């Protein structure tokens, strides 16, 4: 546990403006095996603030990564869509950066080597860095050499001193998970060759704001990035963003390309100029935008609680689908109880039979949900709404209906 954060983790300025105050919450993936475990459950403030100066959105209370990720093993190779995304990226990078057998590609949070193995197939040397020994062992099995370490400036300087500076550094969906942001980016700067490029992918703050997706705020995500904020973080460490791509992953992500500011002939792309303008038009440089978001978050809670009150008045039974992290953020923020929501179904057998963190609502199989014939099914992973509606289409047999919680609770036939 690292505790309260009183100033911006990037620039040190004040954090007086609140973007979303989601109350005291347990870590979103800390499912309980039984009701007996509830007494020992830990809760921490979950509050997103925005820096008065650089406008980096960040949590103002850090829970230690060991506590959040301790037993959490995520094997990237399980998702076909993500594998295809990784393959396409590697093809693009090989051509664009003219990578060959003299090059070195380093990936931060390299997981089980699912991405780097594409470069191995092209004869390009790689190095993975990942703090999880379990996934690193899986990477080694397929020939992706992996250092089991948390990445930061000390590790990067060691590698650079040993002559292992990188032509390409890759960081996909890792930056949000880093409490010590400056140490991490200083490491990138130290490890990157003078002619090298770093590419970083992260969910775009503009998407979160546009969808009022406050339920994607969890303790595991210490920061929430706009291009506006990340350019300032990079500049502090002598790095300049020169290109950007908008991606559809995670509902809307950015891939930024950066090099050392001192690199000769660095030219900013038209896409970069366009995205800066788009963010400016959306008010991401204005504190008022974030304060307005906080009001919309409160409206969502009011609206969801009104739905539950109406269902209770009419004697309707409400179940939910999808025991994902975002559902836990929402249900804990709204203080939803078992009286309001009798069960949550999930296809993952490792979650079935457990209780949701904080609300202690039981997780059941989709078959059990169907057998209970609920009047309403609340779709918690609302980004997968269409898929879930297809899976549970049979609820129409008894007049069951779907509800989605965000941006405002709405009932759909
Ligand atoms: Zn700041």
**Model pLDDT, residue 408:** 60
In the reported structure, the alpha carbon of residue 172 is separated from the centroid of ligand 1 by a whole-number distance in angstroms of 22
In the reported structure, the alpha carbon of residue 196 is separated from the centroid of ligand 1 by a whole-number distance in angstroms of 27
Tens digit of pLDDT at every position of the chain (413 positions): 589 999 999 999 999 999 999 999 999 888 999 999 999 999 999 999 999 999 999 999 999 877 886 545 455 555 788 889 999 999 999 999 999 999 999 999 999 999 999 999 999 999 999 988 888 899 999 999 999 999 999 999 999 999 999 999 999 999 999 999 999 999 999 999 999 999 999 999 999 999 899 999 999 999 999 999 999 999 999 999 999 999 988 779 999 999 999 998 899 999 999 999 999 999 999 999 999 999 999 999 999 999 999 999 999 999 999 998 889 999 999 999 999 999 999 998 989 999 999 999 999 999 999 999 999 999 998 888 889 999 999 999 999 999 988 666 666 65
In the reported structure, the alpha carbon of residue 166 is separated from the centroid of ligand 1 by a whole-number distance in angstroms of 28
In the reported structure, the alpha carbon of residue 147 is separated from the centroid of ligand 1 by a whole-number distance in angstroms of 31
In the reported structure, the alpha carbon of residue 57 is separated from the centroid of ligand 1 by a whole-number distance in angstroms of 8
**Strand ranges of the sheet holding 17-25, from the earlier edge strand across to the other edge:** 17-25, 44-50, 57-59, 223-224
Q: Can you tell me the distance from the alpha carbon of 381 to that of 280, in angstroms, rounded to the nearest whole number?
A: 29
In the reported structure, the alpha carbon of residue 72 is separated from the centroid of ligand 1 by a whole-number distance in angstroms of 30
Q: According to the 3-state scheme, what is the secondary structure of the chain?
A: CCEECCECCCCCCECCEEEEEEEEECCCCCCECCHHHHHHCCCEEEEEEECCCCCCEEECEECCHHHHHCCCCCCHHHCHHHHHHHHHHHHHHHHHCCCCCCCCEEEECCCCCCCHHHHHHCCCCEEEECCCHHHHHHHHHCCCCEECCCCCHHHHHHHHHCCCCEEEEEEECCHHHCCCHHHHHHHHHHHEEEEEEEEEEEEEHHHHHHCCCHHHCCCCCCEEECHHHHHHHHHHCCEEEEEEEEECHHHCEEEEEEEECCCCCCCCCHHHHHHHHHHHHCCCCCHHHHHHHHHHHHHHHHHHHHHHHHHHHCCCCEEEECCCHHHHHHHHHHCCCCCCCCCEECCCCCCCCCECCCCCCEEECHHHHHHCCCCEEEECCHHHHHHHHHHCHHHHHHCCEEEECCCCCEEEC
In the reported structure, the alpha carbon of residue 197 is separated from the centroid of ligand 1 by a whole-number distance in angstroms of 24
In the reported structure, the alpha carbon of residue 243 is separated from the centroid of ligand 1 by a whole-number distance in angstroms of 22
In the reported structure, the alpha carbon of residue 362 is separated from the centroid of ligand 1 by a whole-number distance in angstroms of 40
In the reported structure, the alpha carbon of residue 285 is separated from the centroid of ligand 1 by a whole-number distance in angstroms of 12
pTM above 0.85, yes or no: yes
**Model pLDDT, residue 328:** 94
What count of residues does the chain have? 413
In the reported structure, the alpha carbon of residue 49 is separated from the centroid of ligand 1 by a whole-number distance in angstroms of 10
In the reported structure, the alpha carbon of residue 189 is separated from the centroid of ligand 1 by a whole-number distance in angstroms of 19
In the reported structure, the alpha carbon of residue 237 is separated from the centroid of ligand 1 by a whole-number distance in angstroms of 14
**Model pLDDT, residue 251:** 78
In the reported structure, the alpha carbon of residue 9 is separated from the centroid of ligand 1 by a whole-number distance in angstroms of 7
Q: Write out the residues surrounding ion ligand 1, Cβ under 5 A.
A: 8, 10-11, 13, 51, 53-54, 56
In the reported structure, the alpha carbon of residue 182 is separated from the centroid of ligand 1 by a whole-number distance in angstroms of 11
**Model pLDDT, residue 410:** 65
R_g of the chain, CA atoms, integer Å? 22
């Amino acid at each position: 546990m690292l505790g309260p954060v009183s100033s911006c983790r990037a620039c040190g300025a004040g954090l007086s403006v609140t973007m979303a105050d989601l109350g005291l919450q347990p870590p979103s993936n800390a499912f309980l095996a039984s009701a007996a475990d509830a007494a020992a459950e830990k809760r921490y403030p979950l509050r997103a603030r925005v820096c008065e100066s650089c406008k980096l959105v960040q949590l103002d209370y850090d829970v230690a990564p060991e506590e959040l990720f301790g037993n959490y093993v995520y094997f990237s190779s399980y998702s076909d869509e993500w594998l295809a995304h990784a393959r396409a990226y590697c093809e693009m990078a090989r051509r664009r950066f003219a990578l060959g057998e003299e090059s070195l590609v380093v990936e931060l949070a390299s997981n089980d080597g699912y991405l780097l193995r594409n470069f191995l197939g092209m004869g390009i040397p790689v190095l993975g860095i990942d703090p999880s020994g379990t996934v690193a062992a899986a990477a080694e099995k397929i020939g992706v050499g992996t250092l089991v370490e948390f990445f930061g400036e000390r590790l990067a300087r060691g590698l650079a001193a040993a002559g292992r500076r990188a032509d390409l550094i890759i960081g996909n969906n890792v930056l949000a998970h880093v409490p010590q942001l400056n140490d991490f980016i200083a490491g990138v700067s130290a490890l990157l060759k003078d002619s090298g490029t770093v590419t970083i992918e992260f969910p775009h703050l503009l998407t979160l704001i546009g969808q009022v997706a406050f339920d994607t705020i969890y303790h595991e995500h210490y920061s929430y990035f706009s291009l506006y904020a990340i350019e300032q973080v990079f500049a502090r460490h002598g790095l300049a963003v020169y290109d950007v791509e908008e991606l559809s992953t995670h509902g809307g992500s950015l891939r930024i390309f950066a090099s050392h500011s001192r690199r000769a002939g660095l030219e900013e792309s038209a896409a970069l100029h366009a995205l800066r303008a788009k963010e400016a038009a959306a008010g991401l440089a204005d504190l008022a935008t974030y304060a307005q978001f906080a009001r919309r978050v409160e409206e969502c809670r009011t609206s969801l609680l009104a739905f539950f009150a109406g269902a209770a008045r009419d004697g309707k039974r409400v179940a939910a689908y999808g025991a994902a992290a975002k559902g836990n953020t929402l249900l804990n923020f709204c203080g939803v109880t078992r009286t309001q929501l009798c069960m949550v179904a999930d296809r993952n057998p490792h979650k079935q039979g457990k209780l949701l963190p904080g609300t202690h609502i039981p997780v059941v199989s989709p078959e059990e949900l169907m057998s209970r014939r609920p009047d309403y099914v609340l779709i918690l992973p609302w980004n997968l709404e269409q898929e879930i509606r297809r899976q549970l289409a049979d609820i129409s047999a008894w007049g069951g209906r779907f509800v989605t919680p965000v941006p405002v609770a709405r009932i759909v036939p």
